[in-house]
Structure formats: structure tokens, C-alpha cells
Amino acid sequence: MSFVAAERQGAVEIITINRPEALNALNADVLGDLKAAFEAVDQQAVRCVIVTGAGSKSFVAGADIAAMSTMTQAEAEAFGKLGNDIFRMIETFPLPVIAAVNGFALGGGCELSMCCDFRICSENAMFGQPEVGLGITPGFGGTQRLARLVGPGMAKQLIYTARNIKAEEALRIGLVNAVYPAEELMPAALKIAAGIAKNAPIAVRHCKQAINEGLETGMDQAVVIEEKLFGKCFETHDQKEGMGAFLEKRKEKNFTNC
């Protein structure tokens, strides 16, 4: 992979968009490498994934405008489908995915962060969907995920005005969970990921599935989804180990993802 680096620290996989000379802008090659990086994750050994950008200036500054500028309508639709298919794969990836946003997250970068389970960012982070200023709409899910995350009114204002917002405002409107000094961002992401990784991986994965699928349906069906996934946790080693540790009043737990 030329444009994406992958590194494992314990049970945490760090996937880094590695095109700093272009502020990690997305083109078809970068998207292909991002897909390959997720497909290569060892889902038995890894329990949480962090996505970030190389360098100190940018998470992902957006899609590659130079590459898009000469596209035909058909080519643009195909490019949008490529991005949407990969971002949807990340959104439904069985493991939790944290976006550690270290700088610009504009256009496709904001969209990439939003397909992760949640976002934390550095104080110099900047979010926005500036596409209407370029004569286009967001194309990688921005009109859909932003409205779901911050509400349709706020999403429409941000998208229609093409206004970028700083980290503090992103926190205020609920787009990010926390803001850190730049040098503390990755340590904080790793600490959160380690906290997730110590819990029963089957249960964590089922929680992600229940939340994602439940949000896409009505409450009557959503609670049925939860019931089924709740039941699937039982008769697993991890359920017996977790409850056994509680009953035996021991802190040590040996979760094995089975």
C-alpha cells in the first residue's frame, strides 16, 4: 500500500492515510489502499482500529480536486460509489473504529471521520463540507451522516454555507467527542482503544451491530435486534468468563473472542 500505512500496537490497529504532501487528499488509489488496509486487519487478534492522517496538518483535507476537475458525470458517479462503498464498509466493520482527527477534515475527510464509530480531534482540527463552493454536493455520505450526527438543521447550515468549523464548535454540536492538544491526541486515542480492547470483544461487536442496525429501523424492530444479539452473547466463553469474574470478585479476565 503506497498511500496507507498500518501498524499494530497490542490489540489496536492504527491505519494512517499517508499522503502528507497532498494533505492526505483522497483519490482512487488512496481509497483502494484504505480498503486493502481494513481487509488486512486480523479480526481475531485486533479489537479496535484507529484511523488518522500522516503529518501534523491534516487528517484528510478532502478528495483530490485536481483528479475530480475533469471527470464526466458518469465518472463522478463511479467515484462517489467507490468512496461510499468503502466508507460503508468502514461504518459496518465488525470492530470499533475511532477517528483521531489531527488537522483538516474537510469534504471527504469529514466524511471519512463520520463513517467511524466516533471522533476525537486535536485543537487545530477543522471540519467542513465545502463542496457547494466548488459547484458540487458532498459525494461520500456527507449529506447523510452529518444530518444524523448533528441534526438536519445544523447539517444543512454547514453544508449550504460551505463553512468550516474549528474543533471547539465541532465539540459543541456533537460532531466530536473530545478535543486534545495535538501532542496528546494519539496517546488519548490509544488509551480509549485500550479501554475498549480489554472488554469482551464479542459483546463489543454485538453492541456496534445493535446500535448501527437499530438506528436504521423503528424501535419495535430495533429492540428485537438487541434481543437477538444479547442472546448470542450467552454460552460463549467470554460471557462465562465475564460473569464468573464478577461472581468470584476477581479483576483479571481472560476474554478470548469466542
Report DSSP state, residue 21: G
Which residues neighbour 6 within 8 Å (Cβ) at sequence distance 6 or greater?
A: 13, 14, 15, 16, 37, 40, 41
Domain map (residue ranges) of the chain: 4-197, 201-248
Cell numbers representing residue 205 in the block: 461487536
224: left (phi over 0), alpha (psi -120 to 50) or beta: alpha
Please return the burial class of 152, using the count of CB atoms within 10 Å of its CB with bins 0-12, 13-18 and 19+: exposed
Report the pLDDT value the prediction gives residue 177, as an integer from 0 to 100. Answer: 98
Report the pLDDT value the prediction gives residue 131, as an integer from 0 to 100. Answer: 97
The reply to whether CATH 1.10.10.10 applies to domain 201-248 is: no
Alpha carbon separation from 90 to 93, 171, 217 (Å, rounded): 5, 22, 20
Hey, what CATH topology would domain 4-197 get? 2-enoyl-CoA Hydratase; Chain A, domain 1 (3.90.226)
- Active-site hit among 13, 21, 131, 226: 131
Q: Catalytic: 226? A: no
Full pLDDT tens readout for the chain, 258 residues: 799 999 999 999 999 999 999 999 999 999 999 999 999 999 999 999 999 999 999 999 999 899 999 999 999 999 999 999 999 999 999 999 999 999 999 999 999 999 999 999 999 999 999 999 999 999 999 999 999 999 999 999 999 999 999 999 999 999 999 999 999 999 999 999 999 999 999 999 999 999 999 999 999 999 999 999 999 999 999 999 999 999 999 999 999 989
- Active-site hit among 21, 39, 111, 123: 111
DSSP per-residue letters across 118-172: EEEEETT-EEE--GGGGTS---SSHHHHHHHHH-HHHHHHHHHHT--EEHHHHHH
Report the pLDDT value the prediction gives residue 1, as an integer from 0 to 100. Answer: 78
Q: Catalytic: 131? A: yes
Which residues neighbour 132 within 8 Å (Cβ) at sequence distance 6 or greater?
A: 159, 160, 162
**Euclidean distance between CA atoms 123 and 13, whole angstroms:** 24
Alpha carbon separation from 118 to 29, 102, 203 (Å, rounded): 25, 14, 18
